[in-house]
Amino acid sequence: MKQPPLSGRYELEEIVGTGGMSVVYRAWDLKTDREVAVKVLRLEYLTDDDFVRQFNREAQAASQMSHPNIVNMYDVGQDGDTRYLVMEYVKGITLKDLIRQNGQIKPQRAIQMSLKILAGIDHAHKNHIVHRDIKPQNILVDSEGRVKVADFGIARVVDSAANTGNGNVLGSVHYFSPEQARGAVADEKSDLYSAGVVLYEMVTGRVPFDAETPMAVALKHIQEKPEPPSKYNPEVSPALDEVILKALEKEPSDRYQSAAEMATDLKRAIKMPMGGFLKRPGTSRDVKNNGKKIRKWTTWLLVCMVTAALVVALLGSWQFYERLKTRVRVPAMVLADVEDAQAQLDAQGLIYTIERRYDDDIVSGAVISQDPDAGTLLYPGEEVRLEVSLGREFVTVPDVTMYTRNDAMVELEAAGLVLGAVDLDISDEVPVGAVIRQTPAGGESIPPFSEVDLVVSGETTAVPDLENLTVELARVTLAASGLQLDKVTQRESDVEGGLVIEQSIEKDTRVLWGTTVDIVVSEMDQMVYATEVSITLIIEENGTIVHATLSASDTEREIYRGVLNAGEQTINISLDSMRPGPQTLRVYAGNDLKEERTVVFGDE
């Protein structure tokens, strides 16, 4: 028997998830007429103060946040003995399920998803909330690729009364930080460690530490260094290796200090895949420890220096001139292959350092510059610096098919690309508003800041039957179906004058919303006044909806609607009227009035 709605409002439909202390249902909100998720505390824990406190803590934490990358909280309540939370229902799967399905997620895609996870974590931290259980099971990915952080069940409010260390280990053993493994209080940097573990698992298909028992896993978090992700996935760049390993540092002070800082380095890893932009931790400590060793050898070094000075004096000036003869000239290496340049330097007995960077004009592997210049005299063993080209910088185009236009734009911008033209097309497989195809396709390599054009699934409608309708009634009928009347022509016919005898698109044909339809009417005595106007607009954003209206003293009708891309655009509109005289034409881009002019039908 179906149970009555919770609080007379939430109709539970099916179980979509279970946890240690609660059950999650897909439900229907009868008041707002929308699908929601309802988390219900298990009956056996109603009298357990700790579980009730934890359940209430999740409601408190979630209620303080509103972010596109966090599952939204709608309501909290109690119906008799049933305590429940009402949340946004996300149609999709957990990130853990996605990893199980794919084994490994492409590094570029994993970075984009991590940026969204970090955006949600950053929002929580700015609201003084530490999640304490970041793991793939608590991250949801919907059918359009949106990523949302969920389950703040063991979150805590920073500096709250409950913020005391009690030795309890909270979180999931494969994902929690070394300080959590020791039973210490988790803070924001603990969440970032867990986010690093999640990213590690995304790109490798495995967690950094695993063992037969939870205690053994916890000890590994405390004692062992993780293997670089590139050991298990050669597609992981050196830069991404560096970012992940910094997030997994044992000492919180050596990790990223904020989610925004980690996100910044992930974006750098896209643009600078060879890495080198991170400062490794521990440098200051090493210097301090080495200080004592340096002081121990000071006396010895002074003795050596005095001895060396005496030897030089004994050798005499003839040896100085002999040494001059050993100097060599630095070869010319600019535009040479780096291996050839290395061979030349080796032959001269010179050492070298190599720095690599992208260059649009010089091929990969060729020397861009050298220091010192060619012809400079150096002693063997002195250093030459070479700057070597990585070739033209390319970025990988993310696959944004099935994304909404806005989400696709966010993905492209995160990858260093620009949204290009947005066109509409009809698709039976792709939901309205989602990307059907893109140019270039996902996975292709193109220069940064290149444009990616999208074709988006448009809303469709059936063309109505206009036969035997008057012109005005045909216009109204088309408008009711989301279509527009365009050209009206007359032709002799046995049908009563002024009635439609032919339409340019057959009835019941499915077309894009906003499509124009031409009609032919039987010739009539009453004059139909017609004119054409040409309008040039400056459109600021791709995919802008433009519409135009024509109004007389007592009526206003829409005579154009279309989707235009950014730039200077010209539209030509055919107008007609059953009566002569002036009428007002208004053109809108979005909700902004772009142009208003008077159009005169007939001679005046």
Annotated catalytic sites, by residue?
133
Phi, psi (deg, nearest 5) at residue 181: -65, -30
User: Tokens standing for 592?
Assistant: 């902004």
What is the distance in angstroms between the CA of the first residue and the CA of the last residue of the chain? 76
In whole angstroms, how far apart are CA 309 and each of 296, 303, 488?
A: 22, 10, 105
- Diameter over CA atoms, the chain: 126
DSSP per position, 109-120: HHHHHHHHHHHH
Tokens in use for 49? Answer: 């103060």
Q: Residue 242 CA to chain centroid, in angstroms?
A: 21
Contact 207, 221 (CB under 8 A): no
DSSP state of 497: T
**Can you tell me the distance from the alpha carbon of 319 to that of 325, in angstroms, rounded to the nearest whole number?**
10
Rounded to whole angstroms, the Cα distance separating 397 from 444 reads 5
How far, rounded to the nearest angstrom, does the alpha carbon of residue 367 sit from its chain's CA centroid? Answer: 35
Q: What's the rounded Cα separation, in Å, for the pair 507 and 523?
A: 22
DSSP assignment of 233-258: -TTS-HHHHHHHHHHT-SSGGGS-SS
Angle at the Cα of 542 from the Cα atoms of 537 and 545, rounded to 5 degrees:
65
Residue 553: DSSP 8-state? S
Is the CB of residue 84 less than 8 Å from the CB of residue 41? yes
DSSP code for 229: G
State how far the Cα of 177 lies from the Cα of 164, in Å rounded to an integer. Answer: 17
3-class secondary structure, 524: coil
What's at 553, amino acid-wise?
S
Cβ atoms within 10 Å of 526's Cβ, excluding its own: 9
| CA–CA separation, 432 and 437 (whole Å) | 13
Q: How far, in Å, CA of 561 to CA of 178, rounded?
A: 59
Contact 457, 430 (CB under 8 A): yes
Query: How far is the C-alpha of 303 from the C-alpha of 442, rounded, in Å?
Result: 66
- Residue 59 per-residue DSSP state: H
The count of other CB atoms within 10 Å of the CB of residue 236 is 22
The residue behind tokens 């400590």 is 285
Q: Tell me the β-bridge partners of 445.
A: 396
In the block, tokens 């010089």 appear at 362
